[in-house]
Amino acid sequence: NEGSLWGGRFAGGPADALAALSKSTDFDWRLARYDIAGSRAHARVLHRSGLLTDDELTGMIEALDRLEADVVSGDYVAAESDEDVHGSLERGLIERAGVDLGGKLRAGRSRNDQIATLGRMFLRDHARLISVGVLDTIDALIAQAEAHPYAPMPGRTHLQHAQPVLLSHHLLAHAWAMLRDVQRFIDFDARAAVSPYGSGALAGSSLGLDPNAVAAELGFDSAAWNSIDGTAARDVFAEFAWISAMIGVNLSRISEEVIFWATKEASFVTLDDAFSTGSSIMPQKKNPDVAELARGKSGRLIGDLTGLLATLKGLPLAYNRDLQEDKEPVFDAADTLELLLPAVSGMIATLRFNTEKMAELAPQGFALATDIAEWLVRQGVPFRVAHELSGEAVKLAESRGVELWDLTDEEYAGVSEHLTPDVRTVLTTEGSLRSRSSQGGTGPDAVAAQLEELQRQLAPV
């Protein structure tokens, strides 16, 4: 069989069940163009080592170019009998260049170093594509923050009202997490930019080929220093899957908030029609499906990572066929995020915030109690005492069914002589926010400075 890369030592062909099990063209075909790029680079090092004549190199490159055009146009596709993308493309090459020339290309390389290299090429390209999607999401968050620089909202811990914060501050918190994801892909790329090509099956090549020339042609920084590591390591795949899962988790966390914000009870946001869905039975429904799909798909991304790690665990060095299972998880992670990110960034960009409702709720639920305690500290009261006194004011307000600013001067004086009418300066959302002015705080000036710093860190990525 021409699509097979082995057979000499076998008396017969593989059982149908084995052939079906072994076949990977359904998913590895998407690496075809990387495979052909690798073949061109490999042909050049064979030529440089004197293993291809000038004419043979020209013929080889010309046949590879034709093969690539046919792959791109769809005229050349994997045959039923092809085991994997490498075997199929060798068949295609031989069909175009003849067996005497086409049969020379395989010298000094193995599918083991090929697949490890092509995988890294795929991951590096998709790390960039996904990063663009994450950056678009960050841009949507920044645009919303800039559109609402002074809008307060209830800041929460344990989902309970905690302290008022600026909506812009809250949105930028998500942006920082996403910026770190982009920075992670940049760090990842430094490790992924090492080419396993030249590692052969596991031990390198005896043909005097230059792995660094192949690496350079394929856009890598250098060739692997250890051929066993080159062919057996998949930590770079796992790192990509982890960063993808982390992005999924970050998208899921903001999505969960959007889902909550869009409830009747919260009514903090209205979703744009273009990013909501209806119900087949309930005519009034407008559902946050984008956010729910993001939340759901984060589970899938975590599955891609854990599945891959489970495959790697317990694998002895060097190559084992288990490693054929490395591709689908990372392909799925890339596909999932490339589908998801434009929808999530679009949803965020088109959210309409009900700033009045958010501002009204921001100080409620005794969210200014910390401000009272810190005001007392500024009057010289020890924090332990201040905390107790502010707590007593909360207890009193709660028993009367009012908020802290509804207590009278006499009631405050009754709690403590320290609680003079001046305490009212911090009993407003605005006063509370303005006082949180140091780096990282939610005060308007601190948030403006934060946005500048965020933009500064975004500039180089």
Task: Give the footprint of ligand ARG on this chain (CB under 6 A).
Answer: 24, 28, 84, 111-112, 115, 319, 321, 323-324
Residue nearest to ligand ARG (CB): 111
User: Which CB atom, from 116 or from 407, has the smaller least distance to ligand ARG?
Assistant: 116
CA-only gyration radius of the chain, Å: 31
User: Which CB atom, from 110 or from 131, has the smaller least distance to ligand ARG?
Assistant: 110
CB 325 to ligand ARG: min, Å = 8
Determine whether 418 is an active site residue: no
- Which residue do the tokens 């790329």 mark? 189
User: Which CB atom, from 202 or from 458, has the smaller least distance to ligand ARG?
Assistant: 202
Asked whether the beta carbons of 179 and 164 are under 8 A apart, the reply is no
Rounded to the nearest 10 degrees, what angle do helices 111-147 and 85-97 cross at?
110
Alpha-carbon span 121 to 141, nearest angstrom: 31
CB 115 to ligand ARG: min, Å = 4
Determine whether 131 is an active site residue: no
User: Which CB atom, from 114 or from 298, has the smaller least distance to ligand ARG?
Assistant: 114
Identified catalytic residue from 22, 222, 279, 438: 279
Asked whether the beta carbons of 67 and 88 are under 8 A apart, the reply is no
CB 32 to ligand ARG: min, Å = 13
Cα 151–152–156 angle (5° rounding)?
140
CB 24 to ligand ARG: min, Å = 5
Q: For every residue of the chain, which 3-state class applies, written as one string?
A: CCCCCCCCCCCCCCCHHHHHHHCCHHHHHHHHHHHHHHHHHHHHHHHHCCCCCHHHHHHHHHHHHHHHHHHHHCCCCCCCCCCCHHHHHHHHHHHHHCHHHHCCCCCCCCHHHHHHHHHHHHHHHHHHHHHHHHHHHHHHHHHHHHHCCCCEEEEEECCEEEEEEEHHHHHHHHHHHHHHHHHHHHHHHHHHCEECCCCCCCCCCCCCCCHHHHHHHCCCCEECCCHHHHHHCCHHHHHHHHHHHHHHHHHHHHHHHHHHHCCCCCCCEECCHHHCECCCCCCCCCECHHHHHHHHHHHHHHHHHHHHHHHHCCCCCCCCHHHHHHHHHHHHHHHHHHHHHHHHHHHHHCCEECHHHHHHHCCCCCCCHHHHHHHHHHCCCCHHHHHHHHHHHHHHHHHHCCCHHHCCHHHHHHHCCCCCHHHHHHCCHHHHHHHCCCCCCCCHHHHHHHHHHHHHHHCCC
CB 327 to ligand ARG: min, Å = 6
Identified catalytic residue from 73, 158, 206, 399: 158
Please give the structure tokens belonging to residue 156. 């929460």
CB 224 to ligand ARG: min, Å = 16
Active site positions, annotated: 158, 279
